[in-house]
Amino acid sequence: MKTSRLLTVLVGGVFCLAVMSLYRMLELMQGAELQEHPDTPGGQVDNDLSRLQQKIDELERLLSDNNRLVATLRDSLLQHKASWGKGGGANVSSDSAHSPADTLPGCRLANEMKDETDGVQLLDVYDLLPFDNPDGGAWKQGFEISYHGNEWDEQPLELFLVPHSHNDPGWLKTFDGYYQDQTRHILNNMLIKLSEDSRRKMIWAEISYFSKWWNDIDEQKREMVKRLVRAGQLELVTGGWVMADEANSHYFALLDQLIEGHQWIQRHLGVKPSSGWAVDPFGHSPSMAYLLKGAGLQDMVIQRVHYAVKKHFARQQTLEFHWRQSWDPSPRSDITCHMMPFYSYDVPHTCGPNPSVCCQFDFHRLPGGRVYCPWRISPQPITEQNVQERALLLLDQYRQKSRLFRSPVLLVPLGDDFRFTDSSEWDAQFSNYQKLFDYFDQHPELHIKARFGTLSDYFTTLHQRLSAAGSTLPTLRGDFFTYADRDDHYWSGYFTSRPFYKRLDRTMEATLRATEILFSLTLAEMRRFHGNGQLAADFPAREHFQRLTAGRRNLALFQHHDAVTGTARDAVVVDYGTRLLHSILNMRQVLQSSAHWLLLLDKSEYHHDQSKPFLQMDDVISAQDALPQKTPLTLSDEPRSLIIFNPTEQLRTSVISIVVDSADARVVDTQTGRPMAAQISAVWEEPSRASTESFQLDFVAELPPLSLAVYHVTKAAVGSTHRAQYTFYHHGNPLTIQSEHFQVSHPEGPEADAPLLLSNKHVQMWSSPETGLLQKLRLQSGLVRQLQVQFLWYGTTSNRDKSGAYLFLPGKEGGQLYTSSEPPLVRVSRGPVFSDITSCFRHFTHRVRLYHLDGHAGRSVEISNMVDIRSEVNRELAMKLVTDVANGNRFYSDLNSFQMQQRRTLAKLPLQANFYPMSSASFLQDSTSRVSLLSAQSQAVASLTPGELEVVLDRRLQQDDNRGLGQGVTDNKLTASLYHLLLEDRRGGAQEVGGASVEHLSLLAHLSSLSLCHPPITMVAPSNSQLPKLRPFLPLSSSMPCDLHLLNLRTLEDAQEAETPSQEVALLLHRKGFDCSSAPDTPLQCTWSAHEEVNLDDLFSPLRFRSVRQSGLTLLREDDKPESAQQQQPPRITRLQPMEITAFRVEID
């Protein structure tokens, strides 16, 4: 009690002090103004009044900062009350003083994870391997396997042959095209053929196809499906909407497509998947393993791993292992993983090491069919005459393969892309194999028991055998990038291919998340408002829920390993793009109508009109391959209402940008009536020609967490709004600049050659006057780093095999510095809200911007590129940062925006092998500094030389790279990319940790990344004076701790009524691990978790929960934690550990 009383007094004291000091400052300022100008002439008065107005604005801003400080103290007080009352843990505000040597409570010290003696760290494996490629004989990329023949005398070989059909939801044909031509026939035949013989089995992975087929079949067939699933003949594996890419996908979308699949399976079949099956993604990420384990899966299979790694694991008999998260000291996140040993998942590469033998046991390739064996020995139908010879030939392959594993249980897949389409193929495979199995059964001296099986059959038996023998599997940490399937053919091209759509993917994801959250809050608020759990009569909740479902499914479809990867045919890419665009437009409808209802002061005025929505977005996306264009707002003396939705869980200071038809405008906060700091900039129609009709208005908005804020924009008196001032540099032919509303200067002589300097109160940056490109950064703390931005071209090799959609095969010369015959036009803009430098080159426009803001938004440099390489042939454009950070050969890149992974640049590998996927972050560091590049889209990243970091922006390649696509990548677009560049001091825990150290982003980088990936959403109300009264919507009383991310608030489907929202919402919270060694000098305006216990009721106050049930990550009822069902009365204390995602099914009161 003493603590809380003391805090209450402290809060009161601070508040009184602040108010008194504000009044005193106002007095002093007015006095100073009067002393300066004792006898001011009339013209001057206006000037002085406007200066005084600015000072008052400044004071109001100070007052708002002060309110924030009080709110922070109040948060601390609440947290103290919560924790000390219950012995839980408090949040710590970053305003608490800490000496540089102190570590931040709750942060993660960089450390090296040490495992038991047979633990494997992949980084060490890469250091160890020579990456040579000797000919291994029959198993070309492996070695000769020998056995004596008596190894199975004690423990017979137990073999599971697992029939599968790999169905790409779009690749050479569209999703619908494949479904019509192949997939529906496969599933129809599956129903007939499995029902004919109870010994037959099959696995199926892609729920996108399965659900589409389910909608096409009648009730009788549905019952047959359920029977097969119950009998264990048909197993749904992984259970995701797609078999997702693991390099470019963001963890939000990876989890969302898993939820969509699992919820569908539970609803229609009443089961849940237990095994993962990922045989075609081009490299594998531990983030996916984490999500599968969190979704209740116990085991998983992977296939596309570098051939040298496979060979090493096969030699060590470590192809089966417990995959553990790099950051997890405990085995909690472990999942059993089986790595397939050979080149592919097709039949020739799955029965054993010799593909020419295995191909003879793919009975779809019997003579006379469309498919044949490239090794020129065809399969033979099994007869009584040849069964012995055939069975022994196959057994030899099984035995050789078995020697690569620690147990006598063997997994042999039987299938390939779109297999089992015709009923004849079902008959050929099942009847011929059954004859072989019968032969094995009749000859016990062969010591083999073989049968058709599913993944569950295999893993259940594996675990039984392992525990009976008292043996354990090794643990492994790390990831399986970058993948090579042969020679120097590294699959690092697809980390960037089709970057326009990689960017669209993230726009869709941010739009979906924002819509999910606002829709869930709207339904809860409606039920509260009506008091009887009813929704507003006119609100189309069911239609909106159907739009949300379609949006979830289109985003999920795009996570497929030929979609977000950029590795599908042109027409298929257009199909994906069209689906994403339609869903973005549908999400916007749900957002607009939810916001409309929430904002109305008088709810009875709500009327839903689809053709004429009350709110409009501030931009238009005209086509699936077009960038958004701002819609100019017509201003007058009548205020236009702007609605800003903050989709993040943090109070944020953001710059809102709109286009208006007047060079003077005023923005006021409707609640307080106070004017917002604003600036008018030119809309440049060409690099040196400004529009005379449209102007960019940027203003600073204070946005509470998850709030809808309302601002009024009006036309203002001429010259009353701060206008950006422009300086042009052009070291070529003289330029004519057309910009009648703006002050423009052209420096001459020595002034034209001086470095360009921009600064705010956190950062100073110097750029080259010739190119406008960044050269150096300096922090307020005094830290200075060289930080040069360069652009490079990569060509492709002169060899026969060239770069394509999948592969990156650069020329011997490596990256060549970008040069242009014509020097770029450099345009510097300076204003009170932001200042920036734009460099207009032929193939790209590059802009660096500093925001004049106090919060974390002012600490990073925003970099944006607009790239157009449609004129090029076989070229890739990269952006490189050249720094003086002494990082050696190590750098860090993120995996799926979920965790950071150490990378080591190895000289023994070709250049293309040292490129890695980057979804949203990568950094270089030494003992005193860290340079982080945060991105709003995924792309390839590398650090080929110490101090350098480069990202590939776009690739245009004229040829196919022989991986089945059958075309190059030539459908390039005008493509935008967006980054935040962050320089930070390192201290405290900054000693370099040896080995595979586990590092995290700093708290500042997490916040910066959050605002980059989830920008505020701007909507506009109509321009008439008959507008109903609007008031802001503020669902939370304070920000969440800034290491806690609200991943989603997703309305679940009603259990009784299909396609209808239920009262239950999936609440997904992710507690981020953050680094200890980089705390900014001036503290962040937020709190963070010092303890693992969190009070959910306080976190979401004043929202109230009727029920809270902790569940698995895909929210299946059977995964509900039994102890959480008991805790239905507040306070609901839950444990959130750093790095962990926690899922709850909640009902909001």
Q: So which residues are the catalytic ones?
A: 280
- Considering only CA atoms, which of 723, 698, 721 is closest in space to residue 711? 698
Q: CA–CA distance from 402 to each of 300, 303, 352 (Å)?
A: 18, 17, 8
List CB contacts of 32: < 8 A, sequence separation 6 or more.
none
Distance CA 413, CA 284 (A): 19
User: CB of 861 within 8 A of CB of 777?
Assistant: yes
Query: Would you state the structure tokens that stand for residue 1097, as one six-digit string?
Result: 């009721």
- Residue 420 pairs in a beta bridge with none
Q: Which two tokens stand for residue 1122?
A: 């039994």
- Measure the CA–CA gap between 263 and 272, rounded to whole angstroms: 9
Q: How far apart are CA 482 and CA 489, in angstroms?
A: 10
Residue spans of beta strands (DSSP E) within 470-582: 475-477
Q: Which two three-digit tokens encode residue 612? A: 């004429």
CB atoms within 10 A of CB 810: 21
Which has the closest alpha carbon to 875: 792, 964, 963, 799?
792
Q: Which helix (H) or strand (E) holds 862?
A: strand 861-867
Say if CB 264 and CB 211 are below 8 A apart.
Answer: yes
In 929-1058, the DSSP E strands lie at 929-935, 939-942, 948-956, 975-985, 997-998, 1017-1020, 1044-1053
Which parts of 136-206 fold into alpha helices (H)?
175-178, 184-196
Q: Helices 251-269 and 499-530, interaxial angle, to 10°?
A: 60
**Bridge-based pairing state of the strands 678-686 and 689-703:** antiparallel
**Tokens for 99?**
């000496």
Q: Give the distance from CA 983 to its chain's centroid.
A: 23
Integer Cα distance of 1118 and 1112 in angstroms: 9
- Dihedral of alpha carbons 1085, 1088, 1090, 1095, sign: positive
| Residue-wise DSSP of 593-632 | HHHHHHHBSSGGG----TTS-S-EESEE--STTS--EEPP
User: DSSP assignment, residue 751?
Assistant: G
Distance CA 1108, CA 1124 (A): 7
CA distance 135 to 141: 6
- Separation CA 796–CA 969 (nearest Å): 13
Contact indicator for 521, 1035 with CB cutoff of 8 Å: yes
